[in-house]
Amino acid sequence: MASVARSAPLPDGSTLVADPEIVQRSRSLIKKILLSIPDAHKSCIYIETLKLNSSENEKLGVMASNIGIPPAPVLKNLSETFTLETGLERMSEGLQLHRALLTSVSPSLENIDKVAELQADIKDLVIQINKMLYQVKGETVVQPTPTPVALRLAGKFEAQVAAHLTLVQLQSFGHDVVRLLRCLDQSGEEETES
């Protein structure tokens, strides 16, 4: 029964991340980020109708587009068509996107301490992801500074919505990162068992 829930085998064992400690550190960091999101949300979002885990968030899609919040990259299970390298690149891109979004909206928020801590954790996770990418590619991955995202914030309400939607999207993306890292962790365990 447990084998039914496992992801498809990776196409090439040589593409696995060689250092399981980096995978474990990455898993710890993404868990820390996911646990920090509710506190960051509570500390900087004061509009009561903007709730982190609400079905109403889906209705704010048009507003996200109007404000200029780009969607996060899509993460999938590893396969022949979605390689480890692609997954790691998208993780890095998505985390950098969310860090840039938080950087862009922070000046419009009143209490940014928790948001700043979240940004630092995201930066640390990007470093770990890039280390794994280096192991896969065999070449140095330059740690880019987040590309600034120009959000259209007409006032405090838009800033609140932008921060809210960024945290909601980061939470969802973070869950996808957890799933992909779990797959890497299991793949590494399977490789050492055989």
Dump pLDDT digits (tens) for 57-87.
Answer: 989 999 999 999 999 999 998 888 999 999 9
Residue 141: predicted pLDDT = 67
Predicted pLDDT of residue 145: 64
Q: Judge whether residue 24 has pLDDT over 90.
A: yes
- pLDDT reported for residue 119: 96
- Res 108 pLDDT > 90: yes
At 1 the pLDDT is 34
- Whole-angstrom distance, CA of residue 83 vs CA of residue 91: 12
**How large a percentage of the chain has pLDDT more than 70?**
82
Residue 3 pLDDT more than 60? no
Q: What is the pLDDT of residue 10?
A: 46
